[in-house]
Amino acid sequence: MAKSNKKNLLECPQRIKNLCIMAHVDHGKTTLADSLVASNGIITQRQAGKIRYMDSRKDEVERGITMKSSCVTLTYKHDEEIYVINLIDSPGHVDFSSEVSTAVRLCDGTIIVVDVVEGVCAQTKVVLRQAWVENIRPVLVLNKIDRLILEMKLTPLDAYYHITKIFEQVNAFMGELYNTDVMGRTAEEKEKKSKEKEKERKNSEGSSLGSSNMFENWAINEDLDDTDLYFSPESGNVLFASAFDGWGFRLSKFVDMYHKKLNLAKEDLKRALWGDFYISSKGGVKKIVGGAREKGKSPLFVSLILENIYKIYNVIMENKDNNEMEKIAASLDVKLPFTILKTVDHRLKLNFIMSNWLPLSTSVLEMVVSELPSACEVTDDRACKLMCTATQRFDSLPPQTQKLKKAFVECCSDDDRPLIVYVSKMFGVEKSCISHKIGSKVESEAKSQRRPLTMEEIKERRKMILLLKEKDNVANGVQNSDAVEEEHLEEVEEEEEELIAFARVFSGTLRVGQKVFVLGPKHNPNKIIGLTDEESLPHDVLDSLEYIHYSEVKDIYLLMGRHLERVNNAPAGSIVGIGGLEGIFKSATLSSTPFCTPFTELTLQASPILRVAVETVDPRDLPKLRKGLNILNQSDPCVQVKFKESGEYLLITAGEVHLQKCIQDLEERYARVSLTVSPPIVPFRETIIPPPTFDRLNEAYIRRKHIRWEEENSHIIQMIYRSHRKIVSSVNNSNINNNCNGINDLNSDLEKYEPYEELSSEALRVINSFKNDLKNVLEESGEMWKEAFNQIWSFGPHYCGCNILLNRIESYKRPSFWEGISSDFESPLLTYDTNFVTGFQIASSVGPLCEEPMMGVCFIVEDWEVNTSSNSSVSDTMGQIISMVKDSLRKSFENSHQRLTSGEAIPQLVFSHWEILPIDPFWEPQTTEEVTHWGDKADSENIARNYINDVRRRKGLPTDDKIVASAEKQRTLSKNK
């Protein structure tokens, strides 16, 4: 369709459908997307399923998997109305699940693709959960039905029962999501809903004419109906397909085909076409009867649909009977061209007949138009979820912000409506692809090949070279002009990446040249109240705000898969690319009003866990690497980049495939330098556990003298003498490992708050809930922890971890962590209180085993004494106290994993959760049986010890490796005479 026509269609949000395709890896998403792209003539039907049009990266084509979410704008004519379909193809590999999150946020509906042979897989559940969390409507495509025929060799009846099991799996998980959501509602939400129901009931009592109407209203408002949550073929939200062979259908296709032939009502046939029904002709009257399985009859879905499809497959693929194939094609009103008749590729013949009889793209797009909501059908619940973070409630927002909810729901493009745009991610595009006219008929081959420079561009580059050469001559003296020109020509010609924002316009119209507010995730509209009553902010006020700034929209692009088309504006409901935005990190909210609240953070199903250190082969390329890492960090929603003070550049990814993609992007696109990459490792935590009661041969330990030694020496006393001052501390440690995961989960909600920010009522509720849960956890842990809640001194590391510092000092009864220190409290130790806590934060963030953070450790301070003379100053001692506390806590931790204690300290390996690695890194044989089994030295490989040594080597820490594993004494051979 012409570019101008597309722009006109975008102005009608009622006919815009924003959807994404989601599935487990290799379930057929990209093949399905190819069929939809071919329906608009972008590629041919014969290329569909083979070209993988939405996979534009080289490694995507080589691996055969999708690594990034990409969008294409399609059109479809239905009932004399033309619809715009913004289709997003998302990855199915778990390493790229963050790309799925960025796609789902921009959509109103989704197509869930399930392979009928493999069924519901792990990533299928992940994408269903993401659709549920984002409150978007799903439809189901059961793909690869051809595998039931050709690979599994099932009969039509067995195939029907196999498909029924797939439905049960999908709907069972949908029911699980529903029940989890209902049971997980807070007491406040339930109370609020009950009040609303009571109010509605009273209103219905006043307006009802009789008791029957009153009871009917009560029934409607009693509970949420979950029948619309499930997939059922008769409701029209399920499509049966083979994307590889290009066909697909809904039940309505065969209802229209058979209702006149069978002389049955459409609605009756539609309800009976899927289920345990068959047609009975008793008494000469055809009627639909249930109980097909009990009576040995084939269900209607088998007799009317599957048997016909099986017949076509058997004739073409098994029997290879061309005469029978021509008869079938004629009965289906499919005209076979000469090239199809003469080809020896029987799969091509099958594809041609099936795609003309049951065209996949038509069936899918009809389901999208009829079942999925349009861009202007944003529900109130979804608008509230987008506007309110996990620590906010809608009624706590300013009145100016609450008015924007109407703009979300109406999705209007008028000039008087506020502009609201959400940027879900940034993606890099080479400048050569977008610096000239984009969207031409030749599909922007500059992605892979550079176009020739024009004379004007050559002149501009020569001017730049001369300017750079003059600057170098002034700074460093005159150099060889030819060498300088060649060097700078290389720099100028080097392609740079421009970051494009992947965004959706929820309200208003976005225009080129428009200045908008860029709202960071931590922007708080409550802070704008009192500063201005207008839609603009003075520059001095804007500079004082941390998470909001102005930016100009330089370009707007219509996303067309592998290329972009430049447009002048983007009305509400459209998904576009935005160029030239500044100050966006991963995601952001754009608005014409500063009272707009930032969208809630994306729900990422996989967190980055695989860590490597990267460095350049040539040290002179370090600035390029740093710049490239910044671009990568901004353009990839899941990657994390850390620049250590030691000079180490860390890259943290979701998995090995994701890591390889990031390294390739750095070397070929963002940094364009050769890299050296360290072996990948995963994060560890250091902790302690109670001594084991059984040895490694499952024999019970006999309590020996070294156990009493452990109990007697579990206290660490640290003394420091400095400038007439003696500092003494006594520290004990204990494990809270059984409950540390629960404490960490409770603490995660509090990390969303900014320090010293004014807390809302919802925030206070979260804090009180955390306090109550933590108190219960400690009290249930035993008698030792009964009073621990009121003795908490601090959490660590970073004041929010799951390690605890307890104050049990008799002479220093400071208020607990929850109360804070008041001005009335006095103590000689109060001056050094902050220094003591700082030492605890350092110790808990860098453990003694391999300098990884601690987890689940409680440090109990039982005594602390500072004896000072009157002549010394306080400032001299503060640093020494920090060092003393850090060393004593680390020593206390280290002492608890001495070899005689049989394994107190064990690192933890993270994948989806923290789990103890059940091997003592310092284990040595102790019992007679262990010595007999492993020998005195226990030379067998210790996995935990290897992990610790790997981490220590990467950090440059010393290890106790054996330099010589085995050797012989050198012998001097006598010289032959």
Task: Give yes or no: residues 843 and 740 share one domain.
Answer: yes
The pLDDT of residue 408 is: 86
The pLDDT of residue 546 is: 78
Task: Give yes or no: residues 723 and 801 share one domain.
Answer: yes
What is the domain extent for residue 273? Answer: 250-357
Task: Give yes or no: residues 18 and 125 share one domain.
Answer: yes
For the ranges 450-454, 558-562, 664-668, which has the lowest average pLDDT?
Answer: 450-454
The torsion angles phi and psi of 197, rounded to 5 degrees, stand at: -65, -40
Task: Give yes or no: residues 167 and 290 share one domain.
Answer: no
Assessment of whether the complete model's pTM goes beyond 0.95: no
Q: What is the pLDDT of residues 658-670, one digit of tens each?
A: 899 999 999 988 8
Residue 446 binned pLDDT confidence (cut-offs 50, 70, 90): very low
Asked, for residue 935, whether it belongs to a domain, the answer is yes
Last residue within a domain, chosen from 854, 874, 897: 897
137-143 and 238-242 as β-strands: parallel, antiparallel, unpaired? parallel
Task: Judge contact between 685 and 908, C-beta under 8 A.
Answer: yes
Q: What is the mean pLDDT of the chain?
A: 77
Instruction: Give the torsion sign (CA, 762, 766, 769, 775).
Output: negative
Last residue within a domain, chosen from 897, 917, 937: 897
Task: Give yes or no: residues 664 and 804 share one domain.
Answer: no
Residue 812 binned pLDDT confidence (cut-offs 50, 70, 90): confident
Based on the structure, what is the number of domains in the chain?
A: 6
Task: Give yes or no: residues 630 and 697 share one domain.
Answer: no
16-23 and 81-89 as β-strands: parallel, antiparallel, unpaired? parallel
Asked, for residue 27, whether it belongs to a domain, the answer is yes
Asked, for residue 259, whether it belongs to a domain, the answer is yes
Residue 212 binned pLDDT confidence (cut-offs 50, 70, 90): very low
Task: Judge contact between 558 and 525, C-beta under 8 A.
Answer: no
pLDDT winner (highest mean) among 124-128, 397-401, 582-586, 891-895: 124-128
Task: Judge contact between 867 and 723, C-beta under 8 A.
Answer: no
Tell me the CATH number at 758. Answer: 3.30.230.10
Last residue within a domain, chosen from 681, 712, 742: 681
Task: Give yes or no: residues 17 and 156 share one domain.
Answer: yes
The pLDDT of residue 199 is: 53
The pLDDT of residue 829 is: 81
Q: What is the pLDDT of residues 866-907, one digit of tens each?
A: 765 545 555 556 666 777 676 766 666 655 544 333 333 333
Tell me the CATH number at 268. Answer: 3.90.1430.10
Task: Give yes or no: residues 16 and 46 share one domain.
Answer: yes
The pLDDT of residue 96 is: 86
Residue 261 binned pLDDT confidence (cut-offs 50, 70, 90): confident
Tell me the CATH number at 511. Answer: 2.40.30.10
Tell me the CATH number at 670. Answer: 3.30.70.870
Tell me the CATH number at 180. Answer: 3.40.50.300
Asked, for residue 209, whether it belongs to a domain, the answer is no
- Of the two residues 945 and 704, the one the predictor is more confident about is 945
Strand ordering across the sheet containing 857-867 = 716-721, 726-735, 857-867, 803-807, 792-796
Which residues are paired to 520 by β-bridges? none
d(CA 327, CA 601): 58
Task: Judge contact between 411 and 506, C-beta under 8 A.
Answer: yes
d(CA 105, CA 100): 9
Task: Give yes or no: residues 389 and 343 share one domain.
Answer: no
Asked, for residue 325, whether it belongs to a domain, the answer is yes
- Of the two residues 618 and 898, the one the predictor is more confident about is 618
Task: Give yes or no: residues 663 and 693 share one domain.
Answer: no
Task: Judge contact between 935 and 912, C-beta under 8 A.
Answer: no
Task: Give yes or no: residues 761 and 805 share one domain.
Answer: yes
Asked, for residue 462, whether it belongs to a domain, the answer is no
Among residues 222, 255, 96, 232, which one has the least CA distance to residue 170?
A: 232
What's the rounded mean pLDDT across residues 756-761? 54
Q: Quick one: tokens of 320?
A: 């290879």
Task: Give yes or no: residues 427 and 572 share one domain.
Answer: yes
